[in-house]
Amino acid sequence: MTPPRLAALALALAACGSARPAPRPPKPPDPAQIAADLHARMTEMAELAHRLRGACPELARELRTLFGRMRISVDEANRAAEDPGLARQLTTELHKYDDSDRGLPDAIAGDLAACRDDAAVRDAMSTMPTLPP
């Protein structure tokens, strides 16, 4: 095939477009699911910190793995926070866990204190995803 014919064929194919449909926009975040996921991750963190209290190298590895999963939930929460209506719903959903989460941060901190001098645990904790105030 001659170069002009190749060029014409390429233009004709390009004009036809792709056979794939346009990508769908992501569905809006689900505040109830986000709150449940964040609660589950914090409960998991409390369990890890307690079970691995003093086993610093293993705790550091497990925290990094947990924080990878937690990042997904925090990113979804941040996406929800961009919409005022979803942000209000998320706040309401998060408050549903207030009673069951009461004391959890103190328990986690108490168990993590056994590894306060461990550089790997301190480094892992510095990667913990958090929600903006």
Residue 119 tokens read as: 């550089």
pLDDT digits (tens, 9 = 90+) for 93-118: 999 999 999 999 999 999 999 999 99
> Which pTM was predicted?
0.77
Q: How far is CA 41 from the centre of its chain?
A: 10
Show the low-confidence residues of the chain (pLDDT under 50): none
What ranges make up the beta strands (E) of the chain? none
How far is it, in rounded angstroms, from Cα 35 to Cα 89?
10
How far is it, in rounded angstroms, from Cα 33 to Cα 76?
10
Please report, for the chain, the start and end positions of each structural domain, with discontinuous segments joined by +: 28-125
